[in-house]
Amino acid sequence: MQQKSAKRSGTRAARRPIVGGAAIIAGMFLAAPFGLAETKPSLNLYGVTGLIDMPSGEAQPDGYLTATSSHFGAISRSTLSFQITPRISASFRFLGIRNWNKTALCQPNCTTGIDQFDTYYDRSFDLRFKVLNESRYLPAITIGLQDFAGTGVLSGEYVAATKNLTPNVKVTAGLGWGRLASHGSIGAPFGTRPPIVIGQGGNFNVKQWFRGDAAPFAGVEWKINNNWTFKGEYSSDNYTEEAGKRSTFKHKSPFNFGVEYQPSDSYRVGAYYMYGSTVGIAGQIFINPKQRPSGLSERAPYPIKPRPNRASAPDEYTTEWTEQADVGNILRENLGKRLKDDGIIVESLGFSANTVQVRIRNTRYLNNAEAIGRTARALTELMPASVETFEVVPLANGVPASRVSVQRSDLEALEFSPDAIAQMRARTTITGAPLSAADQTRAPGLYPDFTWSIGPNVRLRFFDQKSPFKGDLGIRATARYQIAPGLALEGEVTQRVIGNLKDRPPLPDRGRLQPVRSAVFYYDREGDLAIEKLALHWHSKLAPDVYTRVSLGYLERMFGGISTEVLWKPTGSRWALGAELDYVKQRSPDQRFGFSLPQAMYETDSGPKAGASSYSVLTGHVSAYYKISDGFHAQLDVGKYLAGDVGATFSLDREFANGWRIGAFATKTNVSSKDFGSGSFDKGIKIVIPLNWGIGSPSRKTFTTTLRPFGRDGGARLEVDGRLYDSVRGYHAPELDTQFGRFWK
């Protein structure tokens, strides 16, 4: 339910690894229907392009996101993979091995070290590079690193080649190292393999790569018909740890066989006979972020209204209308009525005899070029004939983000042109927006404005060492009081209804770091009814290319205080530079109004630990942003984090024109691996899914999830709303260039 007081419409709006695997897939993909896929290779039980348990030399189509859940014997794997470029792919995997300590020497009292777990859970990252595309005579060849920065349980490297012999039959052959050379070794062509130093995990095992014994593997894939495929392979993995040392299953043969059924281009299931002793099953999901699962249902735009020929109707081009009393208010009001159904709010309008400038707030279209195009269409219908130049100034958090100038004659001439998109973009100019609109007529009744909403609240947490999936379901109420352009008071209250986030996770020693993130369990347990946010945000501009933000209050679940930010972002530049400085204090776990911290929050599995009753920190970063070609965005943040550690975060994202965004980040600070804990340093994957991709109607809302091994304290940054770069860049030239395909929609 939701309510509004303003005159305008619209508001801003485990049980076992098999359970964990299903939950990961559900959490990631139930937010939107699956997209249709192109013809593509299948995936193996590791969740990478391959046969059954072995990799292949192929790659998925560019941009594809895939998820798998596979199980055989005591082993379960859930994997998310992304084809970053046509040649490079990366994977994040969660592994569970049941009966891990069944044969451990410590039985029946296995309580410490790696043998303490009945089910062993581990996380791993893979990286693949396709060296060669398949040609008439040559196979596709891929080099891969498996678990290249992990504990070593899954570590291995390989070179795989795949060739299609007929349209329905293809063969794969390869050479593996590490665990992929534990059966049938042919020697060590590149020297001995040093023992892995596990430590806290998360370190790059560079000295091991392609060292030690090497062993061949091979397989065949036969596509029986459009739905069924047979696979057979010879595996070079002996499962020395799982089948040998720990006896979780029996490895009787290196041969695996299976059949897979694909009823749809978006998913695939398979059944397998593994290593001569056990049965396996797998599910594969394929998502193409570039392609919607269905068409986008939206109201058709108004047609361009051409002006009469000046020679035949010269009186239509008179400028006497500029002297009419109250003409600005009339034009603004008529334009506002016309754009209301498009979810575009007209904030103000200024004019001269041949130019009109309108400031708009886009509340509906994730594609900003579409909102600008619809505004330009409406202007052709409502503006007097003498007006030739339309200037559209979109507002981001109440701040003018850019000035998009189009010529009316270009709109009239190009609407039905075969290459209207390219020609219109070539004739459109995007420049910095003027700071002031003092000479414009403003729409009355827009400020102040109070809006609120109530809806479900889902909170998920993955990769607890003893429970791979946890979640809470509750209610979330949000409110926003827009005091003036750029100045807003926002609040968010949650009420937990049901879930298991209150269950105590493993609490390892935290070293010297304040529990700024690892204590989230206490916030889950104590904050049944929580004021998660209550803050005043002020966005403004100091110059055409300089933006500022000040946020004051309870900024997030765990911290309150003041956050300040400045951003230099020229409208036409791929570069941006920013700086942020925050002074914050850690909030009480009940998430009400206090800042006192209980001693229980400092407990670890090894016993109570003394801690401060309050914690405050001055934190901040300088940031550099760069938009690379093909939708890639790079960001580097250097500074001091919430736990007082100093270091840098590098992020690399790929953003698609329809709003999908998939990226990875890594943070390294001066915290040692011992103080950081398992994982050694912070890293993860972030996925942003636009809801309009799945629901088929325009919306600016998105679903965001971050997958990271653990919520550790090192490299933790303040989670504050409204950071400047992502607020304003969507209206600048590099982003509008990407989106311009929908200008005429």
Q: What percent of the chain has pLDDT over 90?
A: 72
Which tops the pLDDT comparison, 287 or 602? 287
Is the pTM value of this prediction over 0.85?
Answer: yes
| Distance, CA of 30 to CA of 694 (rounded, Å) | 10
Name the band, by pLDDT with cuts 50, 70 and 90, for residue 124: confident
Q: Is the pLDDT of residue 561 over 60?
A: yes
Task: Please tell me the predicted confidence (pLDDT) of residue 459.
Answer: 87
CA-to-CA separations, 627 to 284, 649, 731, in angstroms, rounded: 32, 17, 14
Name the band, by pLDDT with cuts 50, 70 and 90, for residue 164: very high
Name the band, by pLDDT with cuts 50, 70 and 90, for residue 651: very high
Report the relative pairing of strands 389-396 and 399-400 from DSSP bridges: antiparallel
Name the band, by pLDDT with cuts 50, 70 and 90, for residue 677: low
DSSP string, 638-706: EEE-TTS-EEEEEEEEEE-TTS-EEEEEEEEES--HHHH-TTSSEEEEEEEEEHHHHHSS----EEEEE
Q: Is the pLDDT of residue 6 over 60?
A: no
Which tops the pLDDT comparison, 26 or 204? 204
The three-state secondary structure class of 359 is: strand
Which tops the pLDDT comparison, 106 or 183? 183
Task: Please tell me the predicted confidence (pLDDT) of residue 16.
Answer: 38
Q: Is the pLDDT of residue 354 over 60?
A: yes
Name the band, by pLDDT with cuts 50, 70 and 90, for residue 14: very low
The domains found in the chain, sorted by start residue, are 34-287 (2.40.160.40), 314-446 (3.30.300), 507-732 (no CATH)
Across all residues in the chain, what is the average pLDDT? 89
Window from 215-219, 418-422, 456-460, 548-552 with minimum mean pLDDT: 456-460
Window from 61-70, 119-128, 361-370 with minimum mean pLDDT: 119-128
Q: Is the pLDDT of residue 209 over 50?
A: yes
Q: What are the pLDDT digits (tens) for 366-414? A: 999 999 999 999 999 999 999 999 999 999 999 999 999 999 999 999 9
| Helices within 91-241 (DSSP H only) | none
| Distance, CA of 215 to CA of 180 (rounded, Å) | 7
Window from 14-23, 626-635, 651-660 with minimum mean pLDDT: 14-23
Name the band, by pLDDT with cuts 50, 70 and 90, for residue 30: very low
Which tops the pLDDT comparison, 13 or 41? 41
